[in-house]
């Protein structure tokens, strides 16, 4: 190879030098014209400049390599459309994160024109190279370079097709208009983008719904398979969620203001409670205790009274006859002990009304039958005895101990109700009973504290209703209101439900009761309803066990039948009426208010928290949640955690006052128009002369049902009145 490179000079167009611009044939001129149209001036500039053979050969080799690869890519794309798509959209590992997009039709047309010009130029160069081979033989360096160029082309042809394709795709994308790519993206058109977006959105919604359904299903699965919840240790034993529910029958809300309940008042100060809780109508024991453990109104659970007639069973329910009332046929709802036992939660039920009825064939793990004479200390011992049993999660339990601790303990305490009926709600005897019940609660709480269970076990204390004082002067003889010869059965007390012998006599009995009530001046003390006109707030119409006609006295009044109590004779002889305390009235009357107080790990509220007043249909859900048991559908809506509205001590609500026997709220229900027809029966004079209104209601401080029998009785009555006026509560009665 020569060491001296020949000097390049400008030659005229007739120069025989093969690589000079003037040596191109007519085809080359034509191709250049096409190149001029495409504004591709790089080759023109190179050709116009006088360059060495080495420079030209190097340039041509580069162009040939690029154009050869581009030609092969186009051929492969035409022969294999799928492969072409893969090349365009496939990831290139050598691209350093570059991406591919779909090329528009306008870009492809422009690309084809450029590639056609490049291919034509390539053919021209090959012909020029062939013609100059003989003339350049004396130039060893040029010959060697041409050989290397041809070898390079062959190597490029024999190299991996994918590598060439990837580099070619990169060169294609380098010529694309970025604005066109950004505006079209992966979609061929705006409509395509919208379709893709809608499909994507629908898929996301579908997956969200599937996820939500799977979550709910898994939650239900955990509940139904009794997966154990978190446990709490008192230092010696592991406790699953545990709740003690205690019902104080007949404990009126304002009993808390009499200075007799330091334990309950302290319990309120450290727990959460409403000012009072409303019972359900009618405010009697069996319907309300079944409401407490089912969350249902009496019309829904079927125990519509302490006594009632079932027209389908053609049988009478009477609560004091357990051989009949404890038959499963009467109980139409699932109580909380059945709900819990079905979900693997052990329960212990102590004397709760209805617990002996084998409801749904599901028995509590522990069942204590009713014993009205059981002493209060024995109840304390029984509750703590159940708490002391080993738990399900405790280790090293002796094999001789087979019983396990229940998570729900529900205990019934009838003492306050019994004293209220016998002696009246303002008697000395009921004061003693209230104090004793408070001491019983103190013993239970002290027992839990000594076991380090104050913050481990939930305590819920409730009552079922209140109590009102009776008087012989607030009695109405039923026979004075309706013709009992038309009546088949009489339900309830002190309110009376009438079941006529013939259905067509319902309207007649209704008109009799309305007319005689008005004629005798009892309009303000008695309300007459059919099942259809019953106030909606009572929720006491949608059950065939509810009698079709009701005479409902205002609080403190009672309706009696002459064989049981002759009102006229009693007033003449100065006899007292017994019982001296009764309930069952309008559940919204202040004297019927009950209590609800709770404390424990399921009630993590600030001490002395106050919640809005609620009805006792809410207790079932609350207790179920405290046990982490899924409740059955019911009429309640409250769920844990409770939402306080303040503190009892914040002064936003007045404290509970000691109540006199007040008139209940006026009914908001519509009433059937009273017939103007003359009464069928003539009124008797049992409650006074015809047309003369009965005496007004007595105050709660008037304890004597008849005349005082001695000077001492008169003095006691006076002291009671003074104490009530000065201190706001009855101190001696």
Query: What b/e readout covers 443-477, taking b as 16+ CB neighbours within 10 angstroms?
Result: bbbebbeebebbebbbbbbbbbbbbbbbbbbbbbb
Is 428 assigned a catalytic role?
no
CB 108 within 8 A of CB 175: no
Give φ, ψ of 74 to 5 degrees.
Answer: -65, -40
Dump the DSSP string for 78-128: HH-HHHHHHHHHS--TTSTT----PPPHHHHHHHHHHHHHHHHHHHHHHHH
Tokens read off for 428: 């000395």
In the set 261, 285, 555, 687, the catalytic residue is 285
Going by DSSP bridges, is the β-strand pair 458-462/596-599 parallel, antiparallel, or unpaired?
antiparallel
Q: Nearest 5°: CA angle at 145, between 143 and 150? A: 95
Q: Where are the beta strands (DSSP E) in 351-485?
A: 366-368, 408-413, 458-462, 468-469, 475-477
Q: Do residues 336 and 407 make contact, with C-beta atoms less than 8 angstroms apart? A: no
Integer Cα distance of 658 and 202 in angstroms: 64
User: For residue 437, how many other CB atoms are within 10 A of its CB?
Assistant: 25
Sorted by sequence, the CB contacts under 8 Å of residue 60 that are 6+ apart come out as 125, 129, 149
Q: Residue 565 class from Cβ within 10 Å (0-12 exposed, 13-18 middle, 19+ buried)?
A: middle
Among candidate residues 348, 313, 306, 350, the one with its CA nearest the CA of residue 497: 306
d(Cα 254, Cα 659) in Å, to the nearest integer? 7
Catalytic residue set = 285
């Amino acid at each position: 190879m020569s060491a001296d490179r020949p000097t390049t000079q400008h030659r005229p167009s007739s120069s025989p030098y093969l690589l000079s611009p003037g040596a191109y044939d007519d085809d080359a001129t034509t191709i250049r014209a096409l190149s001029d149209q495409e504004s591709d001036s790089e080759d023109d500039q190179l050709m116009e400049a006088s360059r060495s053979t080495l420079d030209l050969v190097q340039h041509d080799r580069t162009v040939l390599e690029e154009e050869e690869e581009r030609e092969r890519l186009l051929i492969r794309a035409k022969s294999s459309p799928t492969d072409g798509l893969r090349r365009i959209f496939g990831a290139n590992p050598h691209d350093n994160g570059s991406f591919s997009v779909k090329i528009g039709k306008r870009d492809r047309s422009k690309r084809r024109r450029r590639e056609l010009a490049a291919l034509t130029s390539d053919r021209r160069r090959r012909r020029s190279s062939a013609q100059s081979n003989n003339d350049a033989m004396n130039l060893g360096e040029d010959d060697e370079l041409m050989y290397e160029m041809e070898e390079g082309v062959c190597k490029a042809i024999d190299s991996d097709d994918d590598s060439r394709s990837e580099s070619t795709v990169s060169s294609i994308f380098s010529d694309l208009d970025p604005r066109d790519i950004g505006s079209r993206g992966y979609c061929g058109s705006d409509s395509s983008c919208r379709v893709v977006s809608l499909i994507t959105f629908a898929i996301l919604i579908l997956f969200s719904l599937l996820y939500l359904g799977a979550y709910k299903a898994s939650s239900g699965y955990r509940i139904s398979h009794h997966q154990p919840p978190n446990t709490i240790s008192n230092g010696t034993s592991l406790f699953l969620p545990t709740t003690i529910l205690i019902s104080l029958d007949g404990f009126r809300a304002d009993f808390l203001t009499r200075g007799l309940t330091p334990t309950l008042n302290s319990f309120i100060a450290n727990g959460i409670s409403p000012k009072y809780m409303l019972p359900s109508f009618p405010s009697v024991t069996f319907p309300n205790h079944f409401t407490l453990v089912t969350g249902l109104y009496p019309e829904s659970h079927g125990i519509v009274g302490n006594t009632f007639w079932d027209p389908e069973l053609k049988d009478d329910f009477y609560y004091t006859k357990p051989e009949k009332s404890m038959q499963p046929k009467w109980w139409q709802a699932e109580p909380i002990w059945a709900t819990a036992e079905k979900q693997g939660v052990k329960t212990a039920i102590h004397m709760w009304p209805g617990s002996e009825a084998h409801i749904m064939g599901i028995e509590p793990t522990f069942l204590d039958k009713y014993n009205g004479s059981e002493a209060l200390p024995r109840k304390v011992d029984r509750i703590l005895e159940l708490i002391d049993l080993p738990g399900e999660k405790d280790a090293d339990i002796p094999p001789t101990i087979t019983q396990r601790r229940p998570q729900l303990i529900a205990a019934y305490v009838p003492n306050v109700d019994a004293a209220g009926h016998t002696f009246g709600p303002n008697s000395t005897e009921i004061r003693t009973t209230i104090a004793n019940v408070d001491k019983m609660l103190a013993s239970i709480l002290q027992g839990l504290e000594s076991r380090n269970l104050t913050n481990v076990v939930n305590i819920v204390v409730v009552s079922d209703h209140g109590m009102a004082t009776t008087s012989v002067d607030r009695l109405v003889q039923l026979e004075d209101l309706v013709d009992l010869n038309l009546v088949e059965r009489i339900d309830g007390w002190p309110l009376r439900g009438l079941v006529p012998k013939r259905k067509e006599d319902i309207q007649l009995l209704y008109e009799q009761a309305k007319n005689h009530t008005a004629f005798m001046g009892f309009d303000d003390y008695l309300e007459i309803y059919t099942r259809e006109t019953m106030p909606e707030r009572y929720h006491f119409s949608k059950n065939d066990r509810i009698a079709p006609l009701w005479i409902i006295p205002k609080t403190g009044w009672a309706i009696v039948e002459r064989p049981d109590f002759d009102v006229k004779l009693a007033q003449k002889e100065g006899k007292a009426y017994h019982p001296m305390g009764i309930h069952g009235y309008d559940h919204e009357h202040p004297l019927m208010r009950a209590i609800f107080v709770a404390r424990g790990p399921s009630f993590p509220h600030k001490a002395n928290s106050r919640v809005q007043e609620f009805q006792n249909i809410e207790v079932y859900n609350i207790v179920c949640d405290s046990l982490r048991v899924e409740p059955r559908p019911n009429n309640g809506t409250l769920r844990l955690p409770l939402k306080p509205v303040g503190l009892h001590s914040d002064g936003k609500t007045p404290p509970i006052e000691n109540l006199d026997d007040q008139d209940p709220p006026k009914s908001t229900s519509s009433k059937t128009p009273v017939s103007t027809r003359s009464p069928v029966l003539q009124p008797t004079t049992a409650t006074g002369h015809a047309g003369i209104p009965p005496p007004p209601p007595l105050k709660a401080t008037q304890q004597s049902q008849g005349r005082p029998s001695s000077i001492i009785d008169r003095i006691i009555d006076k002291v009671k009145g003074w104490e009530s006026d000065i201190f706001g509560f009855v101190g001696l009665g």
